[in-house]
């Protein structure tokens, strides 16, 4: 009986292999703005622009992307800096929703503080598309540890996606 389960599992993987092999490319451009909600006081974070190339797998259901984020100096005592955000996106093809897991390396140039910061979080969004072009809106949480305290940041983002 156990061999039957193993054979079924192998057949499932073989059936999914051609779909996984069908990889495409994606390029997203977006603008985001965040709010530091904890610790007090609540305040806005820098506006940022993100360009995120990546690959799509399983008929565009799964995406692996790397976002290059430029923090704009639009609030007092801030300077331009860079973030790098590796991301995993799950986007069901029929539903207009998706989920994004994010790991961020922030403050790469050290312009907005003394050291590089690491953040992790998730976002959920709505997507609409027609052919190889899509638009999206998302909201996410990106907590980060600063001086041994967790800073909770909520970020909104909107942008355009091109599928190749």
**Cα dihedral sign for 20, 24, 25, 31?**
negative
| Residue 16: inside a domain | no
Among 38-47, 65-74, 89-98, 108-117, name the one with the lowest average pLDDT. 108-117
Find where tokens 């054979």 sit: 7
- Specify the DSSP class assigned to residue 19: H
Give the H/E segment covering residue 140: strand 133-141
Domain count, the chain: 1
| Residue 51: inside a domain | yes
Is residue 26 pLDDT above 90, yes or no?
yes
Average confidence (pLDDT) over 36-64: 94
| Residue 134: inside a domain | yes
CATH number of the domain to which 55 belongs? 2.40.160.20
| Residue 142: inside a domain | yes
Question: Which two tokens mark 26?
Answer: 């994606």
Range of the domain at 28: 22-163
Q: Which residues contact 5 (CB under 8 A, 6 or more apart)?
A: none
| Residue 41: inside a domain | yes
The per-residue pLDDT of the chain, averaged, comes to 88
Contact 140, 155 (CB under 8 A): yes
């Amino acid at each position: 009986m156990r061999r039957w389960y193993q054979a079924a599992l192998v057949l499932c993987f073989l059936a999914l292999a051609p779909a996984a092999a069908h990889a495409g490319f994606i390029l997203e451009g977006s603008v985001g703005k965040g709010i530091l909600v904890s610790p007090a006081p609540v305040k806005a974070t820098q506006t940022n622009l993100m360009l995120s190339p990546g690959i799509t797998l399983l008929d565009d259901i799964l995406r692996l992307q790397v976002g290059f984020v430029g923090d704009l100096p639009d609030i007092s005592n801030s300077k331009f800096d860079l973030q790098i955000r590796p991301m995993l996106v799950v986007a069901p093809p029929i539903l207009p929703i998706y989920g994004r897991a994010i790991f961020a390396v922030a403050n790469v140039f050290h312009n907005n503080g003394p050291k590089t910061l690491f953040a992790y979080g998730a976002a959920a969004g709505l997507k609409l598309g027609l052919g190889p072009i899509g638009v999206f809106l998302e909201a996410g949480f990106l907590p980060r540890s600063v001086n041994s305290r967790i800073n909770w940041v909520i970020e909104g983002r909107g942008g355009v996606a091109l599928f190749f």
